[in-house]
Chain A
Amino acid sequence: MSSKIPQEKLASQLSSVGYIPDRDLSIALWMMEKLSRPLLLEGDAGVGKTEVAKALALSNNTKLIRLQCYEGLDQNAALYEWNYQRQLLAIKAREGDDAAIVEEQIFSEKYLLERPLLAALRQVISPVLLIDEIDRADEEFEAFLLELLSEFQITIPELGTIVATTVPKVILTSNGTRELSDALRRRCLYHYVNLPDVDREARIIISRIPHIDTALALQIANMVNLVRKEDLKRTPGVAETLDWASTLAGLDISNLRDEPELIYETLLCLIKTSEDKSRISREVSDRLLGLVA
């Protein structure tokens, strides 16, 4: 059995939907499928962690089910909940009926509200489940998730155990605002997403912004790379690069060095804090522009 071909196939599939993965990531994604393990993506904000899941769903032509984590997220919001209002209405409407029958009816599937995790287990085609920013959820939720991710089944006391019809491809992302538990980390495959190098970033720009000139894309990637090397409080991510590239494409610029003033003015696509703005002055912008080939 050769493992080389499926990885390259995966990489080209992702490229065709606008995500250019590096080799390490495509191997990690291939392993995720092969071993049916969740994949934990870490990396700075803006390196495209969430995009991976979106692109994977798009290229596989499956559903993307997203669970955005936040502080205080509980089972009711993540897994399932009974539709209490409907249950109460049903009780009132059937007053006088046999209690046992009413009870059986109001705890049936009809009154169950699906939340992302339950939805992910009940898909016919294996979906991509994105658990975004898991570090924002509480530790208790993390522990609960652990069980779900290893068994792919959940138990609803009134209904019984629901086993996944298809094993979803689970991608977790973390920004490192909190240390994740070792148990969760061990259970996941791990990949650290770096900012793309100039070459890959240029390819990303070309694939995302239609009709952009290749030379211009390379110049933009170069310039962004230089800006990142400055001592900034918030390093611009790929999304910012794309914003800037589409701004420049919209302004019909073909060579960055022709329009130093416009470049300086549009740089605020990349710079997001006032401290950074004062750090990238017109002089710095011109100096960096001089370094762009």
Chain B
Amino acid sequence: MQAAQRSDRTLGESVRQTLMRFVQTLRDNDFIIGFPEVRDALELIAGSNSHQSTSLRIALRSLFCCCYSDWEKFDDIFDAFWLNKGMKSVVRVANPSEKYSSSLNTTFLNADYSKKGVTADHVHRSNDDSSSFEEGQSKREGASRVEILTQTDFRHLTNAEDLNAANELAERLAKRMRYRLCRRMRNRHKGKKLDIRRTIHNSVSKGGDPFDLARRQRRIKPLRLVMLLDMSGSMSLYSATFLRFMHGVLSNFNEAEAFGFHTRLFHLSAALRERDPQRAVERMTLIAQGAGGGTRIGQSLSVFNHMHAKRVIHSRTCVMIVSDGYDTGPAIELGAEMAALRRRCRRIVWLNPMMGWSEYAPEAAGMKAAMPFIDLFAPAHNIASLQALEPYLEKV
């Protein structure tokens, strides 16, 4: 608190207000900045000379950034805010007189849509179209109805109500799976090995007699599910349901990550974890903008292997790829990347909705190249096929 008081005295009100607006801009861009950081920033500004804008920039960058993606974004936002360079293209600065919540939303909308050049009109339309992402829209159906839905191919779900019900079912399934897959973490106290140090520690209170035996066991890591969803044109009938499934998995599993790809790869977890359904829908529509086009599975996997795999994959990870295997890139690339992925993770499950069709054989060149590295190749055209995965995942 002393520092804050000191900087209050030395800094003008306008400088403080401007800094607060800058912090607000950063927060709108997903930076995590708390009060102590702002206090330290004020102290830094108070202690620096006016001609040292570059070293101040570096100092603020160290202070406000939390991870590499922040680190990359910071310079652009700094320039936009303080030097008035291309401000509109990065973000619209929220009016400080507006209330926090409302300014956050408008900033989000304007920022991202101005970047992509989408009109506000489009936002509303897509909002209605993708109502299937929203929670709590439809009522629960009766059990027999559910039974029918689990067997119906997602392709044949044409009316919005059925689709919604299927999506909800997918989400419920994800929740139930978590319960089954994560309970392995418990009963840790029945270990095989004796913990000598702890046993002696316990015996101190008994005057040295090892009465309470302490045991230990390697903690079993919870299963981590990394999902890669093909969102290209050929998958468009299925991707909505799988998105809902992913949403369920992400909000219920302790550890899960979601990615989507069509001609490029994108990280979906943050968008799917968004609590505010309105914002979630907006983020998803932004992401979906390349969806419905071609697929480059090999290239997307290569990006995944290089950029994300090290961070998101550990020893008890199952990678789940949901795709029909129609790749517009070279099959050799897909094969090589699948081999690299295989070396990293415990299991690769490839879910192919086409497999549910009668007379389907995996003959696409990409699918053939990927086949040798897949542990489980399963259909995923209806809810029942998703349910069938559960016992398999339990053994990972």
Chain A positions near chain B (C-beta within 8 angstroms): 1-4, 7, 23-24, 27-28, 31, 34-35, 37, 39, 42, 72, 76, 81-82, 84-85, 87-88, 91-92, 106, 175-180, 182, 185-187, 189-192
| Contact indicator B52/A190 (Cβ below 8 Å) | no
Give 9 nearest A-B pairs by CB, closest first.
A185-B66, A84-B200, A190-B65, A28-B62, A189-B62, A27-B58, A192-B71, A88-B208, A186-B32
Q: Which residues of A contact B364 (CB under 8 A)?
A: none
| Contact indicator B197/A76 (Cβ below 8 Å) | yes
Q: Which residues of A contact B36 (CB under 8 A)?
A: 187
Least CB distance, A122 to chain B, in whole angstroms: 22
Q: Which residues of A contact B197 (CB under 8 A)?
A: 76, 81, 84
| Contact indicator B49/A2 (Cβ below 8 Å) | yes
Instruction: Decide yes or no: A186 and B70 within 8 Å by CB, A88-B208, A92-B208, A176-B310 being known contacts.
Output: no
| Contact indicator B34/A186 (Cβ below 8 Å) | yes
Q: Which of B52, B59, B67 contacts A31 (CB 8 A)?
A: B59
* Complex CA–CA separation, A34 to B208 (angstroms): 49
Q: Which of B39-47, B158-166, B168-176, B275-283 contacts A (4 or more CB under 8 A)?
A: B39-47
| Interface mask (B324-361 → A, CB under 8 Å = 1, otherwise 0) | 00000000000000000000000000000000000000
| Interface mask (B52-76 → A, CB under 8 Å = 1, otherwise 0) | 1001001101110111101100000
Q: Which residues of A contact B200 (CB under 8 A)?
A: 84-85, 88
* Complex CA–CA separation, A191 to B59 (angstroms): 10
| Contact indicator A28/B58 (Cβ below 8 Å) | yes
* Complex CA–CA separation, A134 to B71 (angstroms): 19
Instruction: Decide yes or no: A42 and B68 within 8 Å by CB, A31-B59, A84-B197 being known contacts.
Output: yes
| Contact indicator B43/A35 (Cβ below 8 Å) | yes
Q: Which residues of A contact B40 (CB under 8 A)?
A: 35, 37
B29 within 8 A of A: no
| Contact indicator A87/B204 (Cβ below 8 Å) | yes
| Contact indicator A185/B67 (Cβ below 8 Å) | yes
Q: Which of A3, A87, A177 contacts B52 (CB 8 A)?
A: A3
* Complex CA–CA separation, A76 to B47 (angstroms): 41
Least CB distance, A92 to chain B, in whole angstroms: 6
Q: Which of A42, A72, A82, A185 contacts B32 (CB 8 A)?
A: A185
Nearest CB in chain A to that of B31: its residue: A186
B145 within 8 A of A: no
Q: Which residues of A contact B68 (CB under 8 A)?
A: 42, 192
Q: Which positions 266-320 of chain B face chain A at CB distance < 8 Å?
A: 310-312, 314
Nearest CB in chain B to that of A76: its residue: B197
Q: Which residues of A contact B66 (CB under 8 A)?
A: 182, 185-186, 190
Interface size class of B (residues with CB under 8 A): 35 or more
Nearest CB in chain B to that of A28: its residue: B62
Least CB distance, A274 to chain B, in whole angstroms: 13
Instruction: Decide yes or no: A24 and B58 within 8 Å by CB, A3-B47, A190-B66 being known contacts.
Output: yes
Q: Which of B34, B49, B67, B311 contacts A190 (CB 8 A)?
A: B67
Q: Which residues of B contact A92 (CB under 8 A)?
A: 208
Q: Which residues of B contact A34 (CB under 8 A)?
A: 44, 47
* Complex CA–CA separation, A35 to B39 (angstroms): 10
Q: List 16 A-B contacts (CB under 8 A).
A: A3-B48, A3-B52, A31-B59, A35-B40, A35-B44, A35-B63, A42-B67, A82-B201, A84-B201, A87-B204, A88-B200, A185-B66, A186-B32, A189-B62, A189-B63, A191-B62
* Complex CA–CA separation, A81 to B195 (angstroms): 15
Instruction: Decide yes or no: A31 and B63 within 8 Å by CB, A177-B310, A185-B32, A186-B32 being known contacts.
Output: yes
Q: Which of B33, B43, B312 contacts A186 (CB 8 A)?
A: B33
* Complex CA–CA separation, A45 to B47 (angstroms): 35
Q: Which residues of A contact B219 (CB under 8 A)?
A: 72
Nearest CB in chain B to that of A150: its residue: B36
- Additional A-B contacts beyond A28-B62, A82-B201 (9; CB < 8 A): A7-B55, A24-B61, A34-B44, A39-B62, A91-B207, A178-B314, A179-B311, A185-B32, A190-B65
* Residue from B34, B58, B219, B312 having most chain A Cβ neighbours under 10 A: B58
Instruction: Decide yes or no: A27 and B49 within 8 Å by CB, A92-B208, A185-B67 being known contacts.
Output: no
